[in-house]
A = this chain, B = another copy of it.
Amino acid sequence: MDERRLLELFEQKKYIEIKRELSEMNEVDVAELLDPLDAHMTLLIFRMLPKDLAVEVFAHFSMEQQLGIINSVTDKELEYIMDELFFDDMIDLIEEMPANIVKKVLKSTKEDERKLINQFLRYPADSAGSIMTIEYVDLRKGITVKEALTHIKETGLNKETVYTCYVTDRKRTLEGFVSLRTLVTSDENLLIDDIMENEVIRVNTHDDQESVANVFRKYGFLALPVVDNENRLTGIITVDDIMDIMEQEATEDFQRMAAMAPSEEAYLDTGVFTLAKHRLPWLLILMVSATFTGRIMGKFENVLASVVVLSTFIPMLMDTGGNSGSQSSTLIIRGLATGEITTHDWWKVLWKELRISFIVGVALAAINWVRLILLEKTDILIAVTVSITIVVTVMASKIVGGVLPLVAKKLKMDPAIMAGPLITTIVDALALMVYFGIATVLLGL
């Protein structure tokens, strides 16, 4: 069913047909289909959906539609939605809603759940605690496979996942895990204790979501247990949520490296003023810092005035430096994000970039030399100046580009924001100083 057919059926009041067709669709597609409709129509169709589908669709709505639904449904309906919503989705909702709506939502939850919500809201943003959910299957030590399967049969439908079950003792200490695959392929009289894995890879509630994503990717898990400082199981994170986080973290790094304030909102859904606001600060900072580069040129105004042709090489030198630097910084920033490179590797990075930049710098300078001397018949001293500047600039850019992200990381700053946008400015200034320095000496200005 597409939007046109939905509107057509709606106009003809063929509600039963709408219900039938929507019920067969994936909840993500239903949410996508209803999201652009106006609040009144959405509510009408939303109420036609089978209850369990409705809650799933609700979880996938945009915040605007969620607000509209919460404002329009009865207290009883809202209670049902909140009761059925997975805990992590509810926390997401509460974090984004305005205060008066949060009040209404909290009124629809049970006393003990409210306590838990408050506890979850205190976890730092982007920590494992803030993205985990509490709907996991926990099995007590000492039960049999058959008992475990019965337990899953009874409670499994309300769990975020049943495919990884966690084994805990009475104090909720995490002791092991067992996959549903192991359960269904094992003899049903075996004890859980005998088939569970004892070595459990786990994350802490305060771990950063990016490092959690790296653990998921490394091991290919479907779920990871989250424990507190006393090693008690407090929640789980499932792979479907981690895929969103991987995408979001990569997007944020792209934005930061392109000198923007990161945003989770989709480009097409974001207003022009918001987008402008995200872009202006860094452009301003970089514009002002680029004027320092201009100052350097100002200082050498007499050099420029006497050999005007020198200025025509400036764009090429600045661009080559900027590009060289951002090649290196990009690799290091990305390596830090995926966990492949750590700050301990600074010496390896430095040594590697030193050698690469020498090769690349000399190669570029050589090609440029041929072009200047053979094709453009440039003055030999100017060609020497330009060529040496290329080698020095490429080497300096790559070393700054390689090391700056590591320094940022070490200082607990975001490498993407501290290293990405600043590289060009630093490298520009470097390139010009080297260029004019060499020119002054060689050309005797």
What is A's interface to B at a CB cutoff of 8 Å? Answer: 24-26, 28, 149, 152-153, 156-157, 162-163, 180-181, 184-185, 198-199, 201, 216-222, 239-244, 246-247, 250-251, 253-255, 257-260, 266-268, 272-273, 275-276, 279-280, 282-284, 286-288, 290-291, 293-295, 297-298, 301, 304-305, 308-309, 311-316, 318-320, 322-324, 326-327, 329-335, 338, 340-341, 345, 348, 352, 355-356, 359-360, 363-364, 367-368, 371, 394, 421, 424-425, 428, 432
Decide: B364 and A280 in contact? CB cutoff 8 A.
yes
Residue pairs across A and B with Cβ atoms less than 8 A apart, 6 shown, are A24-B199, A220-B240, A220-B243, A255-B334, A295-B312, A314-B315
List the B residue with the shortest CB-CB distance to A253: B254
Residues of B within 8 Å of A287, CB to CB, are: 316, 319-320, 364, 367-368
Bound-complex Cα distance A75 to B275 (A): 62
**Distance (whole angstroms) from the CB of A194 to the closest CB of chain B:** 14
Contact in complex: A157, B180 (CB < 8 Å) = no
In the bound complex, how far is the Cα of B185 from the Cα of A244, in angstroms? 28
Identify A259's interface contact among B250, B323, B355, CB under 8 A: B323
| Distance between A184 CB and nearest chain B CB, rounded to angstroms | 6
| Pairs of residues from A and B, 9 with the lowest C-beta to C-beta distance, nearest first | A220-B240, A258-B330, A290-B316, A293-B315, A250-B250, A294-B312, A290-B319, A276-B359, A297-B312
Residue among A156, A242, A287, A288 with most chain B CB within 10 A: A287
Contact of A327 with B272 in the complex, beta carbons under 8 Å: no
Determine which of B254, B298, B301, B340 lies in contact with A268 in the assembled complex, contact meaning CB atoms within 8 Å: B340
Pairwise interchain contact A319-B286, C-beta atoms closer than 8 A? yes
Q: Is the CB of B219 within 8 A of A255?
A: no
Q: How far is the CA of A266 from the CA of B332 in the complex (A)?
A: 11
Report the Cα distance A136→B223, complex, angstroms: 20
Chain B residues whose C-beta falls within 8 Å of the C-beta of A162 in the assembled complex:
180-181, 184
Bound-state CA distance A297–B326 (Å) is 25
Q: Which residues of B contact A282 (CB under 8 A)?
A: 323
Whether A286 and B323, one on each chain, are in contact in the complex, defined by CB atoms closer than 8 angstroms, is yes
The distance in angstroms between the C-alpha atoms of A250 and B272, with both chains bound, is: 26
Q: Which chain B positions have C-beta within 8 A of A291?
A: 316, 371
| A221 proximity list for chain B (CB < 8 A) | 240
- As for how many copies of this chain the complex holds, the number is 2
Which residue among A242, A243, A266, A309 has the maximum number of chain B CB atoms within 10 Å of its CB? A243
14 other contacts beyond A295-B312, A319-B428, with CB at 8 A cut-off?
A24-B198, A157-B185, A163-B163, A184-B184, A246-B246, A259-B327, A268-B340, A272-B352, A272-B355, A283-B324, A290-B315, A291-B371, A297-B312, A318-B319
A28/B219 in contact, CB under 8 A: yes
> Which of B242, B290, B327 contacts A320, CB < 8 Å?
B290
Name the distance in Å between A398's Cβ and chain B's nearest Cβ.
Answer: 9
Q: Which residue of B lies closest to A331 (CB)?
A: B267
Minimum distance in angstroms from A59 CB to a CB of chain B:
11
Of A255, A291, A298, most B-chain CB atoms within 10 Å: A291
Interface centre among A216, A250, A355 (most CB of B within 10 A): A250
B residues near A156, Cβ cutoff 8 Å: 181, 184-185
CB distance from A144 to the nearest CB of B (A): 15
